[in-house]
Structures are given as C-alpha cells and as structure tokens.
Amino acid sequence: MGSVKKSVFLSLLFASWMWSLAAPVPAQVGRHQGMTEPNVADEKELMKAPHLNPALVKGILERRPFANMVELNKFLSQTLDNKQLSELYARMCLPLNLNTATREEIMLIPGMGNRMVREFLEYRPYTAIAQFRKEIGKYVDDKEVARLEQYVFVPINLNTASDETLLSIPGANPQLLRALKESRPYKDMEQFRREIAKSVSAKEAARLERYFVIN
C-alpha cells in the first residue's frame, strides 16, 4: 500500500473509530441531564430536590413505585403549591410514556402549553426516541428538545430490544439485563410478571413493567 493511500486509510479508520465512540447509545428512554427519577433515587438524592423535606421524602419512599406523574403529583400537591411543584419537576420527574400519557400528565412538564401538548399527541404512536427528537425539533430548538426529552420514554419491546436499550431503563444493571433476557420470548405481560418475580421484588417488577411492551 502506497504511503498516501496508507495515510488516507489510517485517517478513515481513525475517523470511524472516533465516530463509534461519539455515536449515541440506542435508547428508548430520553437522556437525563441530572434529572432525579423518584422511583429509583435514594433518600440522599431525593433530599437534594427542590422543596422536598424529610416527611415528603419518606412519603415518596413508602409509596413508590408511582405508576405515573399524575399519581406522584396527587401526593405532592397535598403539601406543595403549583410554583413549588413546577420548580421541583424541573429537577425531578417520572418519565412519561409518549404513547399513552394523558394530557393531564403531559401538562405536568414545566413550561408545557396546549400547543406543545398537541404536538406530543399528534405523532403517536412513537416508535423511538429519535422520532420524538425529529418531530418535536420542528417546533423548538435543540436545547428545548433535549430538555423535553428528559421527561419521556417510548415503550421497549421486551422480546427484541438490544442490551443497550434495556440498560437505558432507569436503575437497570447487568443483573437485571440477564433476568430480562433469560426468559425470552415472552408471550404476554403475565409471563413477564411471573418470571421477573424470581429476580426482583413485586415493587420493582411493577416499576419495570411500565417501560415494556411485548410483541
């Protein structure tokens, strides 16, 4: 191989390697930028969230897993006013299912208005977070897309999802990954509940279930 060709080949090889490092990990859960997930955060982490006191943190820990943000908001709104809740939800949220979340749940995202709720609903069903980025990016800039992405997820196909996708679930680890994969293919959600109960608690199974579909 000539010196020029070799130099070009090495340059392309290096560029390819650098691209593979920079390429985003496949995920169905939006990328968080320091956002606290109340179903998995420990007591110390929850205490750092705005307006949460020891009594509220204790209540979160006792009541979780919360099925959705509406359920969490119902508990917190007994103590916190709308301004406090908005400030809290800028730092803490339970990701909402882009394909099933109600208008009430979507409106709990800070800064959300009726127009953007319509855009969220218009593109259902979502098949990937990349689709959400593309469609919502028609209306807001990249910074706002990144902010909104923290609040959402697209349900993961439990039978076909890659390791990277499964590990994008908040709180997932290699042990959970093995437990999820060893019983594939799942026929229905009842089988998932039965099999995962061998590896995790009932509360953890309920928390995980919201992220999956079985096709």
**pLDDT at residue 36, rounded to an integer:** 96
**pLDDT at residue 27, rounded to an integer:** 60
Q: Say how many domains are in the chain.
A: 2
Looking at the domain assignment, is residue 8 inside a domain?
Answer: no
Looking at the domain assignment, is residue 29 inside a domain?
Answer: no
Phi, psi of 20 (to 5 degrees): -65, -30
Phi, psi of 102 (to 5 degrees): -80, 165
**pLDDT at residue 7, rounded to an integer:** 53
Question: What percentage of the chain carries pLDDT values higher than 70?
Answer: 87
What whole-number distance in Å separates Cα of residue 67 and Cα of residue 70? 8
What whole-number distance in Å separates Cα of residue 33 and Cα of residue 101? 22
Phi, psi of 212 (to 5 degrees): -115, 150
Q: Cβ distance 36 to 91 under 8 Å? A: yes
For residue 2, name the pLDDT band (cuts at 50, 70, 90): low
pLDDT in tens, 141-166: 999 999 999 999 999 999 999 999 99
Question: In which domain, by residue range, is 137 found?
Answer: 43-153
**pLDDT at residue 3, rounded to an integer:** 55
- In the predicted structure, residue 5 carries a pLDDT above the cut 70: no
Same domain, 49 and 138: yes
- In the predicted structure, residue 24 carries a pLDDT above the cut 50: no
Same domain, 74 and 123: yes
Mean model confidence pLDDT for the chain: 89
Predicted TM-score of the model (pTM):
0.83
Same domain, 140 and 187: no
Same domain, 53 and 107: yes
Same domain, 148 and 165: no
Last residue of a domain, one of 153, 182, 200: 153
- In the predicted structure, residue 18 carries a pLDDT above the cut 70: no
Q: Cβ distance 203 to 146 under 8 Å? A: no
Phi, psi of 97 (to 5 degrees): -75, 115
Higher pLDDT, 12 or 147: 147
For residue 66, name the pLDDT band (cuts at 50, 70, 90): very high
pLDDT in tens, 41-55: 999 999 999 999 999
